[in-house]
Each structure stands twice: as C-alpha cells, then as structure tokens.
Amino acid sequence: MTILVTPLVLQVEHATNEFNIELSTTLRGSDGVVITTNKAGLMIGHAVVDAPQTLFLIDNVMNGFSLHRLEDGACIHTYNTNPMKTFPKQVVFGEQATLIVGGSDAGTIHIFDKNEGTLRQVLQHADRGRVQTVTTYDSMHHSLIFEATSTNDAEPTISIWCRKRATLPSNRPLGSAIKNFMRGVLQLAIAMVIIAYGINIWIGQTSGITLLGNVWREYSKLGARTSDLTNADICSLVEQYIEAQRGEELERSRSSGMNNRHGGRAKLQEERHAVILLGN
C-alpha cells in the first residue's frame, strides 16, 4: 500500500516499547520495521498525537481534518473546511485537547469542538494566502494560538490570538480567605507597632521587642480574640497601659526631682488620637 506523505515523523513513547508514527504508518523504534499501516486518507499533510497518546489528528488535505484512534487508526470525527486548494497545513489540539485548530488556504484559522465536530470559530488571519503554520499553548489563565502565512509574493504574517480562560470557582474562596487572613495579620501588626512605638518614646526605653510582648500580654487579659476588640476597647486598654507606665515614670521622676506630668498628658492624648485613627 502506497501513501503520499510529507517527511514529518512524530515520536511516541510507550512504557515497554518506543515506536514512531509516520502519519498513518506505525514503525518499530529500534529498527524501523513496519508494524501496521492504516489508511487514513488519499493524502496526509500533517499529523499530531494527543498527550495521553490515544488519538492522533491529521490534515487529510482533501476536505479538512480527521481525528483517529491511535490503536487501530479508526476515524472518529471529520472536520470539514471545504478547501479550494489541496496543500499540506498544520492542525493541532487546543485548550487542553478540547478543540481542533487548523490552517486553511484562504487566510483563516478554523476552530472545531473536538467531541461534537462543530465549527466553533473562524479567525481571520490575513486577506488571502495559505495558513500552513499553526501551534497552540495553554497556560493556567490563558489559551494562545499562533499562526503564520506562507506566500511567495508578499511578506509573511504572524498572528497571536489570546483568550482568557475561566478561573475555577473552587479557587476563589481559598484565595479570598488567604487575603482576609493576611490583611488581618497586617492590621494587627501595625496596631502593635504604633502602640509600642508610643510607649517606647514615653518611658525612654530601647527594648521594642520587650514592649511588644508587654502589649500582647495586656491584650490577652481581655480574655477575647483580638478580632473582637472594638475601637473603644483598644482606647481604654491603651489608656490604662500608658497611665500605668506614666505613673511609674512619675514616681521615678519625683524621686530624682523631675516632673513630666504635663508632657505625659500631651503624649497620652497623642497615643489616643493615633489609636482612634487606626481604628477608623
């Protein structure tokens, strides 16, 4: 049996044996001996095997594209493009092997549903000319189609088509929960830094880590989650904590002949104002 083919050879690997597929002829990979030959059409311009290695897609040149089982070469679907001229052109799988994408002789790209065999879309690549080069790429969020014209009397044209893929609904709640958690952690960290910074200035200490631990212990005395604290609770807590620190400082100042009472009240007002702004 003689089949007109292009020189294209596709490599297919199996668990126990390697063999090549030259369009519709199966060859043994070790010595090139013909294992089986399946008649897939009068002429074949291009062929591609899907990722699971169960199907192969060909450009049959005569009326469009054909989908076959790799096991026995049986034709499953034919995707008719009604070509005016018979010449080889690439055809590939798209969008996780759910679409059939192939070129044409009229400057267009045909996109078919693989399972239903219906024409989904026609992309106008150029006004005229052969679209023989086609390839696809699938990312997590986008599907891309690349194609190029083949002409002898004009500059070749390359087009890139992009379509945004739908995000899986199951990913949205998880993403929102993570964002909310990180936002809450950030807000709590900002609040603790502001409070610790104010206390550090007031009592003249340099150990910011110790002050943060003291503030956290004061938070814990409320016996509730920090997310349940209201703005009034935070103001009251800060007032009590700063007032206690101010009393200790005044006691030390009194013994050394210093009096910072006026400055303490001003700093207390500043701290209360900072906490109110943070809460709002």
What's the alpha-carbon Rg for the chain, to the nearest Å? 36
Integer angstrom CA distances of residue 85 from 14, 61, 133, 194 = 37, 8, 16, 76
Q: Which percentage of the chain shows pLDDT scores above 90?
A: 6
Q: What digits encode the pLDDT tens for the residues 80-109?
A: 888 887 788 889 999 888 999 988 888 888
Q: Are strands 91-94 and 75-80 parallel, antiparallel or unpaired?
A: unpaired
Of 279 and 97, more confident: 97
What pLDDT is attached to residue 33? Answer: 77
**Which pLDDT band, with edges at 50, 70 and 90, does 209 fall under?**
very low
Q: What is the band of 3 on the pLDDT scale with cuts at 50, 70, 90?
A: very low
Predicted local distance difference test score (pLDDT) of residue 168: 54
> In the sheet that 142-150 helps form, which strands lie side by side, from edge to edge?
130-138, 142-150, 158-164
Lowest pLDDT segment from 55-59, 143-147, 165-169, 263-267: 263-267
pLDDT-wise least confident of 4-18, 71-85, 169-183:
4-18
The region of weakest confidence among 71-75, 148-152, 170-174 is: 170-174
Residue-level pLDDT at 79: 92
> Does the predicted TM-score (pTM) go above 0.85?
no
Average pLDDT over residues 154-163: 82
| pLDDT score for 215 | 54
- Measure the CA–CA gap between 122 and 161, rounded to whole angstroms: 12
Is 86 or 56 the better-scoring residue by pLDDT?
Answer: 56
pLDDT mean across residues, the chain: 70
- pLDDT per residue as tens digits for the range 14-46: 433 433 334 456 666 677 777 766 665 557 788
Half-sphere exposure of 43 (CA within 13 A, CB side): 11
What does the pLDDT read at residue 31? 76
Reported as a single tens digit per residue, the pLDDT across 242-277 is: 676 677 667 777 766 555 555 555 555 655 555 444
Which pLDDT belongs to residue 111?
92
Cα separations in angstroms, 141 against 159, 162, 262, 265: 20, 10, 61, 57
Average the pLDDT over 109-136 and give the result. Answer: 86
Cα torsion for 61, 66, 72, 74, to the nearest 10°?
Answer: -110
Residues near 193 by beta carbon (within 8 Å), at least 6 away in sequence: 212
Q: State percent of the chain over pLDDT 70.
A: 51
Q: Could you tell me which residues are beta bridge partners of residue 34?
A: 27
